[in-house]
Homo-oligomer: A and B are copies of this chain.
Amino acid sequence: QKFCSQCGTVLNQLIPPDDNRLRDVCQHCGAVHYQNPRNVVGVLPVWQDKILLCRRAIEPRYDKWTLPAGFMELGETTAQGAMRETQEEAGAQIELGPLYTVIDVPHAEQVHFFYLAKVLSEDLFPGPESLEAAFFALDDIPWGELAFRTIITTLEHYLVDVKTGIFPMHHYDIPLPAPGSTTSRHGKINLD
* A residues in contact (CB < 8 Å) with B: 1-11, 18, 20-21, 33-39, 71-80, 88, 98-99, 102, 104, 106-107, 109, 111, 128-129, 169, 171, 173
Contact = CB atoms under 8 A, between A and B. Distances in A.
A75 B106 contact: yes
A37 B111 CA distance: 11
30 contacts: A1-B5, A2-B5, A2-B7, A2-B8, A3-B7, A3-B8, A5-B33, A8-B8, A8-B9, A20-B88, A35-B74, A36-B38, A36-B72, A36-B74, A37-B39, A37-B73, A37-B74, A37-B76, A72-B111, A75-B107, A76-B106, A77-B106, A77-B173, A78-B104, A80-B106, A99-B171, A102-B102, A111-B111, A169-B169, A169-B171
A102 B104 contact: no
A75 B107 CA distance: 6
Given A3-B6, A8-B3, A171-B169, A104 B128 contact: no
Given A10-B8, A77-B173, A171-B99, A71 B36 contact: yes
Contacts of A98: 171
Given A4-B3, A5-B3, A8-B2, A39 B106 contact: no
B74 A109 contact: yes
In this complex, the member of A2, A4, A5 whose beta carbon has the largest number of chain B beta carbons within 10 angstroms is A5
Contact of A18 (B36, B37, B107, B128): B128
A37 B169 contact: no
A171 B116 CA distance: 14
B71 A109 contact: no
Contacts of A75: 106-107, 109
